[in-house]
Structure 1
Amino acid sequence: MARIVISSLNPHNINNSSWSVSVHLTFNRVEDFLLKSFSTAKYHLHTAILFTWTDYKTIFLPITAFACATAPVQSFSSLLQSWVWIWFHLLLCNVSNQARSCEEDKLNRPWRPLPSGRITESQAVALRWAIVALCLFWSSTYNPELVLVTIGLVVTTFIYDELGAASHIVGKNFCNIGGYVSFEVGATTIIGADHAMDFVSVTAVIISGILIFTTIQAQDFPDVEGDKALGRVTFPIYAPEFSRAFTLFATVAWSFFLSWFWGVGPVSAAFLVTFGTYVGIRYYHWRTLEADKNSYLIFNIWLMAAHVLPLHARTSVLAF
């Protein structure tokens, strides 16, 4: 019988065939594409994190503490959803703000995306409006009321950045109230059992808004030089001495009032009053740039402590 040899099945011939070379090149191209895509995604994620980096301690964590205590938190799933909502809305505000404050950031925070050259101003503006659309869609998956919260935050941000409220003492404070309240309502709504606000939640948000209005100057002390460069008139610039004395009074007074209003126990009240007094004294006595940065960090810890007090109205957990 004649022996038939099919050369195309010879492994040596397969490895050296044009088909094998073509497959090898295709795999290389796919690998290069995936590596470049991963590198690009990593770059843009890093840029997004840099946009929000300074506000994890000032907004993300205090708002989370407030929502978890006020709603209160129902599950890890609801907490995770709230985190996502907060972060994207925080990105919305920060991209808008930083697209208009590059000169200030060159002095105070040169590592941010715009002054460091990671993104251009026109790209930041386009990104801002893309995030607005994303946030509106995200809120619409819950209820129409949450869409209104997002719209309120967008309007507040527009007034703050585009209409110049950031350069006005009272206008800046009112916009800060609008921002904080929007975050608090949104986060509390998502974390709550029925995605709705009850009497305790509404009361807590109103009190928090007034608290922010009277203490928001705490964030302006470390930024005095940058604000001066942009021609802004903040409370610490307008009244350097009185603003520090008022901050001392406000943190102490609020500590007493909140302890009384939410009816916490003597040990909890003593802790908050002592903490608030320490924060106020720091602002009044230690006035270097580094001291003001540290004071603002400690202020936000005090703010988180103040924001968890509504939990006592539901659980009496702070009765001691």
Structure 2
Amino acid sequence: MISPTAHIFRKKLIRKPPFWAPSSTSAGSTSYASSPSISYRIYSIWLFTFSDIKTIIAPSFAFGFFTAYISPSFDIHPAPTWQELIQRAPLMLLWSWINLLPFAIDNQRRPESIAEDTLNKPWRTLPAKRMTPQQAFNLMLVFYPLAILTSLQIGGLRQCIGLVVLGIWYNNFGGADASWITRNFINGCGFVCHISAPLEVALGGQQVASNESTIKWLLIIGTVVFTTVQTQDMYDQAGDCLHGRKSLPLVVGDGPARWSIAVPMTFWCIFCPWYWSSSPITWTLVVSLGLTVAGRSLALRSVSQDRATFRLWNLWMVCLYALPLTRVVY
């Protein structure tokens, strides 16, 4: 049942696609392609993950690449050479994408998700009617085993299994909707899986979970995400309301939710450079960007402004991933 408040938000949810979004000439059409070409099918599959390139795939690759490069700082030996890192880079991207895809399909295939995407992301595969929900479900059943087999071959198998469990919890057992605490926890664990697996791939399949210094850093990253990832919920309150999700801003209110971002952001942007004994330049960059996110969360409250704040949050996370490099430079 849709909350009466949802109707207040419905008009706010309708927006033009951003300039970087794929064209969706078929969006809103009333029929599906009868005999789609191979390129049409491939592009339809790609659209499931397009919006997550900047939030999941690129940052995860950055973490794996940076951390593998200075792996001796984490007591990981032997360190890969530049040539090995470059050779393994496509495999790192493959791991991120093929493990993200089945989760994204499961997340987007439900009627309420299609209705929401029809309003704010009409270029996606299902609202654009490039594929039926049943075809998407069948595709998901194919790619979950493919993700496991790929991880078995190139590394990151435990993280893959972890993402399968987290994804089923998130999409099928109320993990995304029932509680903002559970939602943030799953996001935190998911981030840790997504960033640590490309690192293992970059290290040639070497497991990193048994390394104490690596575990500490991953736990810090997971806690950072748990306490600040509600940044992504600020601009999507309309969609979450329609969806019936109990995201943090809908539970505690818009104002308190913004303070729940600003306070931990202020702490983490100071703590993380301190943890790595970073150089003054690094301190300035991370603190400035973190305080910018905190300040924008409090002062700039439109949907477009919140969306831009979330992009800055993702950039700040990438800066955190690069912090261990400063131990080498400093």
The alignment's TM-score, normalised by the length of structure 2, stands at 0.80
Separation of aligned partners in 2, 1:69 and 1:236: 34
Separation of aligned partners in 1, 2:296 and 2:197: 32
Give, as a single letter, the amino acid of the residue that structure 2 aligns with 1:46. Answer: Y
Separation of aligned partners in 2, 1:207 and 1:175: 15
Counting only pairs closer than 5 Å after superposition, residues 14-29 of structure 1 correspond to structure 2 as: none
**By how many angstroms is 1:194 displaced?**
5.7
Structure 1: gaps (5+ residues): 1-37
Separation of aligned partners in 2, 1:42 and 1:142: 27
Match of 1:63 in 2: 60
**By how many angstroms is 1:47 displaced?**
1.2
Give, as a single letter, the amino acid of the residue that structure 1 aligns with 2:90. Answer: L
| 8 Å Cα contact 1:200-1:310 kept in structure 2 | no
- 2:119 pairs, out of 107, 115, 123, with 107
- 1:166 pairs, out of 176, 195, 217, with 176
Separation of aligned partners in 2, 1:171 and 1:102: 23
- 2:320 pairs, out of 290, 306, 312, with 306
Separation of aligned partners in 2, 1:263 and 1:139: 34
Separation of aligned partners in 1, 2:109 and 2:205: 37
Residue-by-residue CA offset, 1:71-129 (whole Å, 9 max, x unaligned): 23642111111011111111122111111321221232122111111111111111111
Separation of aligned partners in 2, 1:49 and 1:221: 26
**By how many angstroms is 1:253 displaced?**
1.1
Match of 2:130 in 1: 118
Match of 1:221 in 2: 234
- 1:202 pairs, out of 202, 209, 215, with 215
Percentage of matched positions with identical amino acids = 30
- 2:88 pairs, out of 73, 78, 85, with 78
Give, as a single letter, the amino acid of the residue that structure 2 aligns with 1:83. Answer: L
Separation of aligned partners in 1, 2:276 and 2:268: 12
Residue-by-residue CA offset, 1:109-163 (whole Å, 9 max, x unaligned): 12211111111111111111110010111011135xx323211111100000000
Residue-by-residue CA offset, 1:11-66 (whole Å, 9 max, x unaligned): xxxxxxxxxxxxxxxxxxxxxxxxxxx97221122112211111111111111111
| 8 Å Cα contact 2:114-2:126 kept in structure 1 | yes
**By how many angstroms is 1:310 displaced?**
2.3
| 8 Å Cα contact 1:66-1:184 kept in structure 2 | yes
Give, as a single letter, the amino acid of the residue that structure 2 aligns with 1:164. Answer: G
Counting only pairs closer than 5 Å after superposition, residues 238-253 of structure 1 correspond to structure 2 as: 238-239=251-252, 240-253=254-267
Structure 2: gaps (5+ residues): 1-34, 70-79
CA RMSD of aligned residues (A): 1.7
**By how many angstroms is 1:264 displaced?**
0.4
| 8 Å Cα contact 2:126-2:132 kept in structure 1 | yes
Higher helix share: 1
Match of 1:3 in 2: none
The alignment's TM-score, normalised by the length of structure 1, stands at 0.82
The structure with the larger Rg is: 1
Q: Does 1:182 align with 2:179?
A: no
Separation of aligned partners in 1, 2:212 and 2:323: 15
Q: Does 1:265 align with 2:279?
A: yes
Q: How many residues align?
A: 277
Give, as a single letter, the amino acid of the residue that structure 1 aligns with 2:169. Answer: I
